[in-house]
Amino acid sequence: MATAATASAAAATRFTRLAGAGLRRSRLPTAVRFQRRVLTTTALLRTAELRPKEQGLPETLDYRVFLVDGGGRKVSPWHDVPLRAGDGVFHFIVEIPKESSAKMEVATDESFTPIKQDTKKGNLRYYPYNINWNYGLFPQTWEDPTFANTDVEGALGDNDPVDVVEIGERRANIGDVLKVKPLAALAMIDEGELDWKIVAISLDDPKASLVNDVDDVEKHFPV
């Protein structure tokens, strides 16, 4: 069962420090690669041209959402999209759109790391309700399963990318690449594994300029 270990307001610079302490920042730029690189450097990738491409039927075991560039070539949403999108701004990959319940995730062990629906004992997984935010990951991040974070009960990383909860009003699509700014950080411990949740807001949200920390979230997005 997951429990909240720590919660704090976090602007972009604060998130950078959290990443350094909890995710072994020295290993963030490369993460772990499972496929041959299509691009020689992420600097060549034009994120504005990236788009999701579906393969198979939704809510089946074969369903995949790939990310393709302007030329239709597959790229990895985890490995090839740069983390930083500017000063205090980060790229965010949408796995689970707002107001949906299918538990989608990047397939970290498949070529080009497409997004697929998670399974348990061969069955597709769902939330018991539609979530109220866009959920996904920060590219080129990785929670190291060999690093014990002394700031969070010595928990080890969960061997996955860092999770993001985007609270804006727009419902995004699976595979969308959004520019977001972090607002807060929550460290979850699930069966001894550390699982960071970064609360963020898309820069194109109407309230983005009004929300800069967790106090602003409570003011402009009351429960």
Of 118, 67, 61, nearest to 93 by C-alpha is 67
Measured distance CA(221)–CA(223) in Å, rounded: 6
Residue 171 main-chain phi, psi, to 5 deg: -85, 115
The answer to whether the Cα torsion of 114, 120, 121, 122 is positive or negative is negative
The answer to whether the Cα torsion of 193, 149, 35, 59 is positive or negative is positive
Mark whether 127 is an active-site residue.
Answer: yes
**Cβ atoms of 220 and 211 closer than 8 Å:** yes
Residue 67 main-chain phi, psi, to 5 deg: -105, 130
Measured distance CA(71)–CA(26) in Å, rounded: 32
Residue 97, Ramachandran bin (φ over 0: left; ψ between -120 and 50: alpha; else beta): beta
Angle at 166 between CA 76 and CA 56, to 5 degrees: 45
> Of 63, 126, 127, 129, which residue is the catalytic one?
127
Residue 85 main-chain phi, psi, to 5 deg: -120, 10
Catalytic residues: 127
